[in-house]
Structure 1
Amino acid sequence: MALNFHQLHIFYTVAERGSFSAAAQSLHMTQPAVTMQVQSLEDYFGTKLLQRSTKRIDLTEAGRALMPYARRSIELIRDTDQAMSAFTKQLKGRLQLGASLTIGEYILPRLLGPFGQSFPEISISMKVMNTAQIMDEIMNHQLTFGLIEAPVNHPDMQMEAVMSDELRLIVPKDHPLSKRPTVMLDEVVEYPFVLREQGSGTRLVMEEQLKRKNIDPADLKIVMELGSTGAVKSAVEAGLGVSFVSESSVKHEVALGLLHVVPIEDVRFKRQFYSIYLKSTLLPISAVTFLTFLREKDLQQWL
């Protein structure tokens, strides 16, 4: 019997998930099939890799020694898929992903067309939801991966920066700042603000940058908190306050003269968008190809 990657992947997933049943659910296999593959791997090495009990799974000394090699084999396969995706043009299938609000409403719709021209046989199903919902659906295996606006820490999740973005100050067309070529941050914070809700990626990036400039976000004059970028733009257009939103989300309103983007001289609100998926999951080649497209293409030509 030869050592094979499939068995290493199953062993690693059992160890990471802590039980055969959880690993079986993650791998879309039956529990007996998972158990059989781990036993075959133990037979190959001639030693026990897992200590089984009624409540939990523990690694033996041999299992602990094998874990970094199993992890490296998974990473190598992922890197191989990524390297070869550039040469794969005849992909077929359906790609399911989740996207947080700004990405799903304003960024991806402009990128799916160019991606579809390069890979016409891949159909994409996208759910637009907040980061917590995306993580829940990934954990429950309802989504393959997600794209989110702010980094998160989760022991089961793999996260990687795939796109750049910048928040810009928007003001109504007749606002005192609308005709200024640039402004300073300490001027901006004196005005009323309309902001995304607490916990949103946009709000988090804005608040962190303010803190770096020794400005307490709690001191802002926040007149309204809203649950979508579209609602924020409408409120600013109505003259209720100023705000920070993704540059890609206001191109239409700026072109029509409904809103103005005002550069801030002493600070920039740059951020990354991240892909997120289970560490124990091997992404399908279609997902790897899509993420490679996001990382390596000059996306600004479409945004």
Structure 2
Amino acid sequence: MALNFHQLHIFYTVAEKGSFSAAAQALHMTQPAVTMQVQSLEDYFGTKLLQRSTKRIDLTEAGRALMPYAKSSIDLIRDTDQAMSAFTKQLKGRLQLGSSLTIGEYILPRLLGPFGQEYPHITISMKVMNTAQIMEEILNHQLNFGLIEAPVNHPDMHMEAVMSDELMLVVPKDHPLAGKSSVTIDEAMRYAFVLREQGSGTRLVMEEQLKKKKIDPASMNVVMELGSTGAVKSAVEAGLGISFLSSSSVKHEVALGLIKLVKISDIKFKRQFYSIYLKSALLPISAVTFLTFLRERDLQQWL
């Protein structure tokens, strides 16, 4: 019997999850199949790798020694997929991903066209939802990966920055600030704001940057909180207040002269967009190719 990557991947997942049943769920396998593959690996090395008990699974000394090599093999496969994705032009298949609101509605639609021209045989199915929903569907193996607007911490998730963005001050076309090329944050804070709801990625980035400037977000005159970027844009256009939004999300309205973008001279609302997926999962080559596309291309040419 030859040593194979599949068995190392299964062993590593069992050790990470702490049980055969959890590993089986993560790997889309039956528990007996997972157990059999680990036993085959133990037979190959001629030693026990896991100590089994009714409550938990512990690594033996041999298992602890094997763990870094198993992880290295998984990382190597991922790196290999990423390196070769640039040369794989005839990919076929369906890519399922989740995307948070701003990315899904205003960023990705402009990128899927160029990606589709380069990889015409990959079909992308995208769900637009909040970060919590994306994480839940990834954990339940309903999505390959997600793209989100703010970092998250989860022991089973791998997270990586793949795109950058900047929030800009957005004002009605006839607002007192509309004729200015730039203003200070103190000048902007004198006016009424229409903002995204608490907990949204856009709101979190704005509040974090204000706090860094020793400005309490609670001191803002927030006249309205809305659950979508589209609703905020409509409210600003109607003159109900000003806001901070991604410049990519208001490109159309600015071009039509419905609203104005104003630079803040003394603060930058820059942020990263992140990909998230299960640490135990090996992404399909179509997903690796799409993430490589986001990382390595000059996306601003399309945004």
Q: Assess same fold via TM > 0.5.
A: yes
Could you list the per-position Cα deviations for residues 132-153 of structure 1 after superposition, in whole angstroms to 9, with x for gaps in the alignment? 1000110111111000001111
Identity of counterpart residues, as a percentage? Answer: 85
The alpha-carbon deviation at position 70 of structure 1 amounts to: 1.1
The alpha-carbon deviation at position 51 of structure 1 amounts to: 1.6
Q: Secondary structure at the match of 1:3?
A: coil
Distance 2:57 2:127 in 1: 35
Which residue does the alignment assign to 2:291? 291
Which residue does the alignment assign to 2:47? 47
Which residue does the alignment assign to 2:141? 141
The TM-score with structure 2 as length reference comes to 0.98
Q: Secondary structure at the match of 2:183?
A: coil
Could you list the per-position Cα deviations for residues 224-258 of structure 1 after superposition, in whole angstroms to 9, with x for gaps in the alignment? 11111001111111111111111100011001111
Residue type of the partner of 1:200?
A: S
Distance 2:277 2:51 in 1: 28
Distance 1:269 1:248 in 2: 14
Superposition map of 1:151-190 within 5 A: 151-190=151-190
Q: Secondary structure at the match of 1:250?
A: helix
Which residue does the alignment assign to 1:130? 130
The alpha-carbon deviation at position 56 of structure 1 amounts to: 2.2
Distance 1:62 1:243 in 2: 58
Could you list the per-position Cα deviations for residues 102-129 of structure 1 after superposition, in whole angstroms to 9, with x for gaps in the alignment? 0000000111111011011100000000
Which residue does the alignment assign to 2:85? 85
Distance 2:253 2:93 in 1: 36
The alpha-carbon deviation at position 30 of structure 1 amounts to: 1.4
Residue type of the partner of 2:120?
A: P
Distance 1:57 1:193 in 2: 54
Distance 1:125 1:52 in 2: 41
Which residue does the alignment assign to 2:265? 265
Residue type of the partner of 1:217?
A: P
Q: Secondary structure at the match of 2:290?
A: helix
Distance 1:191 1:70 in 2: 57
| Residue correspondences, number | 303
Distance 1:226 1:171 in 2: 16
Superposition map of 1:1-303 within 5 A: 1-303=1-303
The alpha-carbon deviation at position 281 of structure 1 amounts to: 0.4
Distance 2:63 2:177 in 1: 63
Structure 1 residues not aligned, in runs of 5+: none
RMSD: 0.9
Distance 2:197 2:45 in 1: 54
The alpha-carbon deviation at position 54 of structure 1 amounts to: 2.2
The alpha-carbon deviation at position 66 of structure 1 amounts to: 1.6
